[in-house]
Structure 1
């Protein structure tokens, strides 16, 4: 009789015996599902199954605590649930490709002190970029691109000690680039394009050993030549489609530069001969006020007329002869 009862118990409760997921984490995930209005995307999230096996969720192999939550490309109409802040072991949090995700960036995210990867991308979340994100000292990657975020960029974002990449592109951010961005402890790839940023680019950015800086499609003005200097390590620079105005004639370039887009500004002067020494894979200086002959050599003649045209009096191959 005892053997029969034991076998019956095994048949009725297999999930309980084999489940790895922490019960507290499981309850939080079920709350998140409810707050997201039980979307079909999370159909695998069932109370009678192991949450370490659920879609979009990852458990740590040692502690079995939830360390990753990635929700993307699904039909859901809600705000980011405040309960995401109750997953204390979370290292990666991602909400992306969710056009009906609205509301602000929840303050409870600041409780996730183990977070090193945060991506909230291609949604309709709105409101400001919050200062409290700077409390996440372990972040190495922050992507808030292509949302409806407004207001100015908080200077506190420069306080991340280990950030490798900062994406704020594709929002409705206004005001200047904070001068504090020239003082990152570890210099991230910087993506601020497709906003409404204005004013001058902080000269402090010229102190950074950047790899990528994209400031295109804004309303920035003044001089950007200090971003090109020979002591820098920048590989990709895009400051196109701004209101920049400076003389390019005597600018010295970093040898690390592989891609340079200065198009759609009011840059004047001539193209420096130093461009011929660079291993450029891409160059665009169109729609400016440049004059004189395009230097011969390097990669400069490998680009098409479209990378040079609509200047004041630029000439020479690949444009018509001077």
Structure 2
């Protein structure tokens, strides 16, 4: 006789009791902490770490909690609380153990993609989503809290924020839309809008999520490369059958002395390279496929396909501390 069953992502025993679900959640949550620790090793700010925790770790721990929560023993709840405390020590702040806090932070994640990467290889981590429609944003957003910490955290249209605060310069700690005007560079997405469903799709149009990108590269080879992950899943039916989840890292290698200059001030760094990496996993988080790429930010218009090991070796040239594995076990089955 089978003692436990997995139904809609939850574990239940043959007496229709959900208590066996918690150990499985704990094990899965522990594996997700690896990604959180990897992000922290790159000196990412607490706010972005907290967002990653809420979407990738808490999303697992609190999934369908209304079904199993009431039947969970105290010892099992203490396991989950212990895991949340571990995550809190990684993030560097106390994390909410309740669903209300998770909902609040999930909304923040959808409305805020602030760049807080402090090492010499700037970048983001995100989970790939199939598009659910929605057109391209015509507006570019800025992060109010990068102007004044007392201002609200949700991104705002840069034009209207400037109208509301005419005597405040918004670009002290972030790029502004006018920085790119007549610069000769495109506003190149790091975290691509086509890799997200609405409303996360709209949130990628914040200027902390773009870098000065060579127009030829942005409109041709890099655009095609970004589309390949989507095409792999959609056109071949691969996403639904074998790869329901894909984790992506994307970033740049800043240049030593190439900048967009405004009023004789070096304001926005023009990166030498763009890079990304992905790890496809099944519903049980077993790796299926991985890949990586890099491109010089030049007219060469060339994207070089790499393995994860090759990308790690490349990044190590620019980072003082050990890069280590980009994904858990380097996305090996």
| The two structures share one fold, judged by TM-score above 0.5 | no
More helix by proportion, 1 or 2? 2
TM-score by length of 2: 0.22
Looking at CA atoms only, which structure, 1 or 2, has the larger radius of gyration?
1
Q: Which has the higher strand share?
A: 1
| Structure of higher RCO (CA pairs closer than 8 Å, 6+ residues apart) | 2
TM-score (norm 1): 0.23
